[in-house]
Structure 1
Amino acid sequence: MSLLTPCPERQLLHRRSIDVQVYARADGLYDVEAELKDSKTRDIPLAHGVRKAGDPVHDMLLHLVVDAQLNILSSSSQTRWMPYPGHCDQHGEAYGRLVGLNLLKGFRAEVKQRLAGVHGCTHLTELTQVLPTAVIQAFAGLVIDTREGSADGQPPFQLDRCHALRSDGAVVQTHYPRWYRGASARPDAQALPASSSS
């Protein structure tokens, strides 16, 4: 499917940017810094006065320390720009509840349990959802072996996690032949009903 052609007559109203940076530390751990910013192209009235066009409505930061197994060892947040100063930033150490979670093992469901609704900030909680894939991208080929798989004989983690890397597909057959399984081993094959002849 080709990308839609934008209307030639349009005006930008809102911009949300998400930036995730992952750093290798000297102690063998990793810093993850995730930032979310919202801004408008026009002045808007907020509870504490007018926010000028281009100034952030939201500017929020999550900082995690993770190990090579993607366990979260430390976590904190900072709200720098917000619509309700003195309120939006008063969620205390809510994002410290991420400590002990693993970015690859039920992370998104656990975040929902711990921080959904009034237990956290909508925007910071939403920002957590991009962390697993961003950290995996940082670790791919350096911390995680994306070619040979794990030491216990498991295939590379990325196989069967998207349509291009399905174990019965051409990409796996060409680039990961050891792990190619053909159509009969497709992960969803068992879920498909058997065809009946009538």
Structure 2
Amino acid sequence: MTLPQAAAQRQLKHRRQIDVQVYARGDGLWEVDATLTDTKTRTTQLGSGPRPAGVPIHDMLLRLVVNEKLDILEAGSETRWMPYTGQCNDHGDIYARLAGLNLMDHFRLRLRERVGGVLGCTHITELAQVLPTAVVQAFAGEVIDTRGDTEGASRPFQIDRCHALRSNGAVVARFYPRWAQAAPSA
């Protein structure tokens, strides 16, 4: 792959940080804390007034409680920094509507149906879209069998979920030979 070369004279103006941390609880459930933080390198004039450099424009937390089947049991959000205090966070507990969804069952579609557009916050809803793969990554090898190399094991979850792990590709043939498929003939 070719990565565009970074310009020698580029200057950072904006930083968006997304952080997802997944915690095992003592009761067999898991907590997922996802944060989104936007900062500028200069004072920014917002509709609500100036925001000094380095002070967040947005700082939001979305927390889910999930089980090992990736079902969302509880959900909620907190907006700590926002451009329009009292308005950006005036969506109530809309993110509680994520309870009952499963992260691997059309989650992104159902997310938009339940909290998309004017129902929720654009930034928190966008943040939620990264959660399926982040939680799967947290569960990999601990909750989800990623090897599938024992007798009677299920096909590893990750096969056919990306280009590198396609069932008829070299990675699956080498690392998951039991699950490899023949490449289609040209």
Q: What TM-score does the superposition give when structure 2 sets the normalisation length?
A: 0.95
**Structure 1 residue 151: Cα displacement:** 9.9
Distance 1:69 1:51, change over 3 A: same
In structure 2, the partner of 1:146 is 146
Q: Distance in 1 between matches of 2:59 and 2:112?
A: 21
Once the two structures are superposed, what CA deviation does each residue of 1:130-151 show, in whole Å capped at 9, x if it has no partner? 0000000100000000111899
Matches within 5 A, 1:40-189: 40-148=40-148, 154-184=154-184
Give RMSD over aligned pairs.
1.8
- The one-letter code sitting in structure 2 at the alignment partner of 1:41 is T
Extract structure 1 runs of 4+ deviating beyond 2 A: 149-154
Distance 1:70 1:89, change over 3 A: same
User: Percent of aligned pairs with the same residue?
Assistant: 59
| Contact map agreement 1:149 1:157 (CA 8 A) in 2 | no
**Structure 1 residue 153: Cα displacement:** 6.2
The count of aligned residue pairs is 186
- The one-letter code sitting in structure 2 at the alignment partner of 1:179 is W
In structure 2, the partner of 1:36 is 36
SS, match of residue 165 in structure 1? coil
Q: Distance in 2 between matches of 1:129 and 1:88?
A: 19
Once the two structures are superposed, what CA deviation does each residue of 1:17-60 show, in whole Å capped at 9, x if it has no partner? 00000000000100000000001111011233210001000000
**Structure 1 residue 155: Cα displacement:** 1.5
- The one-letter code sitting in structure 2 at the alignment partner of 1:121 is C
The structure having more radius of gyration, on CA atoms, is 1
| Contact map agreement 1:32 1:64 (CA 8 A) in 2 | yes
Extract unaligned runs of 5+ from structure 1: 190-194
